[in-house]
Structure 1
Amino acid sequence: MPIDPQKIRIQELANKYLKGQLSSSEQLEFDEWFKSEGNENIYIDENIAESEDKHRQLILSRINEQIKQDIKVKTIWPRIAVAASVLLALSIGGYFILNKTSTLQIVKYQKQEIVPGINKATLTLANGQKIILTRGLNGRLAQQGSTLVQVNSSKSITYTASAVNSSLATRVQLNTLSTVRGEQSPYPLVLADGTKVWLNAESSITFPTSFSEKERIVKITGEVYLEVSHDAAHPFKVKVRDQTIEDLGTQFNINAYPDEPNMKTTLINGSVKISKGSQSAFLKPGFQAVVSTSGSAIIVQAADLDQVMAWKNGSFEFEGTPLNDIMRQISRWYDVDISYKGTIEGIEFGGSISRSKNINEILSVLETTKGVHFKIEGRRILVMP
């Protein structure tokens, strides 16, 4: 049976394509030949998709096989020849489905890497102006009444009040420092009284630019760590939901995320008073006050300070921690949504891992238990038995 000259020509073009030697006119000829009807899939798994050479060799072998069988192979190639530059630029280790129907389609499924959160926060001034805070800033940021806002040489955001202009000094203004999911404050915030504040992901603190009242009052959401500059004549109070935490010379952490079943105030050093309605409790260092979102009782219990302070120290710390609790932390730090498929109960974890790891590494560690599996779909994590 004589060999079809057209097939010889296509074979020649295919070989030149594999060598990267197609001229512009030959590329057009090649593309035009493949614009035909038909529908067929090529599946390239992650082992095959390790390099450009393997992509090319797979394509050539498929053409040779079809030519030998005297079957039109034009249905495969439009997805590859017309969009070869796209295909070969795709990430190594992917899984591809190449399919031509009425229009060109290239769908890529690959191992997705979700990176950890970053050091970033937003400072909202009294007039609504927003300043994005990242590492590397230095010097003056704003003037709020009589208070200068700046990043000092110690890499802290400082509020320094001046009494030079008495009219300005009496004009108290409120500022807010906030983070969204996937962020934590890049610097400690130093309030006008010297109190230092750190924010975890999806958290905020609203505070006066200077303290001229008898009480120093701030409001917070999410998770915040404070080192309060004690002043018995001007008590420092933190308002969060329907609770008030009063400093009595203190370093403490507040976890008050709305999706957590309990709000926890943990004392590192000093003393604090927790109040809710008519109830109150005093904490000693190493203890925490736990208040259910659905109740009013204040329960005081010993705290695991390593777990409590892990976020500020750059790690996740687990000790008999339920999977659901862990996934809420992961959701906030990696800015992902969590979904569950099937029943997952009674799974707890212990150990420590850096928050600088990509999410794949975190999930791989959790999967070693064999009791849970994960699937990444964009920015959604599916949790399965």
Structure 2
Amino acid sequence: MDANQFSDLLQRYRLGTCSSAEKEWVEGWYNERRNNIYNPLTEEEEEIVGERIYSNVQEVLTSATAERVIPIWRKQRTWWVAAGTMMLMATAGYFLLTRKDPVPEIVQTPKPQTQPVMPGGNKALLTLGDGSVIVLDSAANGALSQQGKAIVLKKQDGELVYQSRHNGNQDVIAWNTISTPRGGQYQVVLPDGTKVWLNAVSSLRFPAGFTGKERAVQLTGEAYFEVAEVKMPGEGKKMPFKVYINPSPAANEGNRVEVSGTHFNIKAYNDEAAINTTLLEGAVTMISPKVRAFLKPGQQAQVRKDGQMYVDEHADLEEAVAWKEGRFVFNEASVETVMREIARWYDVEIVYAGKVPAEKFEGEIPRNSNITEVFKILELSNVHCKIEGRKITVLP
């Protein structure tokens, strides 16, 4: 900042048009200098310096305003402290011209704009057998890769298809993984024609071609399956389809679902109290390390953390699969249950200010709703929240 820029700053300070940051800088700088003033000048030298300072400031002020300025140094030995604002400018100007260290420029830094919280969409990563990764939401439609004897196609936004070029078993099996982030969902058609819908924060590991006498996939998170009926080569028997849930890295262990041809939903998030398998059509067997249960349509198997299982004979099917249809459906759901769903789909952090509200929520919310609309609906059940960026605070 040179002398002219500083004079302009002083002029805007006097007129009250400078920014708050500039005002604070001028006053702070002046107070610092005022407290350390050492005046070695005689009275005669003082008057000469004062006249020079005044003439410089007067030139700037008279060019910008017609207001009459009264000389202030003519009262003997009082010009250093008289006339308030003018003296502030004169003294500051004097030290500006005589100081050796540069005056830092005042830069107005714009405040970053907070991005609005938006609902999730079709987002996923595809990890191929060789370890390479394809970002599906930005990839163009068409052929993406060849895995064994299967062509990987992105048919449209949100849909991935494995199209087998030859019938029969493959010699080399390439295992692929499709995974969705917070705020993401995707659909994949497996090489046997089975359709799988993945909810947010979920992954499905599967072979690019099924071999042997069974079809096996690995699931973490939540997915809806429509399993295609496939006969074993040379036999009339149906080829079993198995879903291993949250398996260990070393082997397919723990909980699993065995099916032949059916429609069902598996919800297996680690932050949920249980693994829920809900059957809509066909038949499945839910197997835990301690027990197994054969499910009929309309039933839901709930496997708790300790391995114990409970079968709900009259499950709420609409609530279980509403996410696939673009809705949240809650039936006497706790606040924590609702907030977990919101956190995954809107990619937000949920915190609780004090005790968790005991209210139960019952209702339906479109998954494409703005986050503020969601909380307006929740307020009808006395669930109140505060939004700060991507942080949602649930009030007691």
Structure 2 length normalisation: TM-score? Answer: 0.69
Kept in 2, the 8 Å contact 1:120–1:179? The answer is yes
Deviations 1:159-192 (A, max 9, x none): 122349x9x931011000101111111xx21111
Aligned residue in 1 for 2:195: 196
Task: In structure 1, give the amino acid aligned to 2:386.
Answer: K
Kept in 1, the 8 Å contact 2:299–2:311? The answer is no
Which aligned pairs between 1:81-160 and structure 2 lie closer than 5 A? 86=110, 113-134=116-137, 137-152=140-155, 156-160=159-163
Distance in 1 (alpha carbons) for counterparts of 2:134 and 2:321: 27
Kept in 2, the 8 Å contact 1:273–1:280? The answer is yes
Gaps of 5+ in 1: 1-5, 18-26, 40-69, 75-80, 92-109
Aligned residue in 1 for 2:47: none
Which 4+ runs in 1 deviate beyond 4 A? Answer: 6-9, 11-15, 30-34, 70-74, 81-85
Distance in 2 (alpha carbons) for counterparts of 1:318 and 1:331: 15
Aligned residue in 1 for 2:264: 252
Deviations 1:317-336 (A, max 9, x none): 11211111000101111111
Offset, 1:315 = 1.3
Determine whether 1:334 maps to 2:346: yes
Kept in 1, the 8 Å contact 2:174–2:208? The answer is yes
In our comparison, the structure showing a higher alpha carbon Rg is: 2
Distance in 2 (alpha carbons) for counterparts of 1:356 and 1:283: 33
Determine whether 1:35 maps to 2:34: no
Distance in 2 (alpha carbons) for counterparts of 1:353 and 1:158: 30
Which aligned pairs between 1:275-286 and structure 2 lie closer than 5 A? 275-277=287-289, 279-286=291-298
Aligned residue in 1 for 2:173: 172
Kept in 1, the 8 Å contact 2:154–2:160? The answer is yes
Task: In structure 2, give the amino acid aligned to 1:37.
Answer: E
Q: Secondary structure at the match of 1:223?
A: strand
Kept in 2, the 8 Å contact 1:235–1:246? The answer is yes
Q: What root-mean-square deviation, in Å, do the aligned CA atoms of Structure 1 and Structure 2 show?
A: 3.3
Per the alignment, do residues 349 and 170 of structure 1 end up closer, same or farther by CA in structure 2, a change over 3 Å counting?
same
Offset, 1:151 = 2.0
Q: Secondary structure at the match of 1:86?
A: coil
Q: How many residue pairs are counted as aligned between the two chains?
A: 307
Kept in 1, the 8 Å contact 2:158–2:185? The answer is no
Determine whether 1:239 maps to 2:244: yes
Gaps of 5+ in 2: 1-7, 30-83, 90-104, 231-236, 247-253
Offset, 1:273 = 1.2
Per the alignment, do residues 345 and 9 of structure 1 end up closer, same or farther by CA in structure 2, a change over 3 Å counting?
closer
Aligned residue in 2 for 1:273: 285
Q: Secondary structure at the match of 1:36?
A: helix
Kept in 1, the 8 Å contact 2:263–2:280? The answer is yes
Offset, 1:373 = 2.4
Aligned residue in 1 for 2:309: 297
- Percent identity over the alignment? 41
Determine whether 1:346 maps to 2:358: yes
Bigger proportion of residues as strand: 1
Kept in 2, the 8 Å contact 1:113–1:360? The answer is no
Deviations 1:38-87 (A, max 9, x none): 59xxxxxxxxxxxxxxxxxxxxxxxxxxxxxx88999xxxxxx9566837
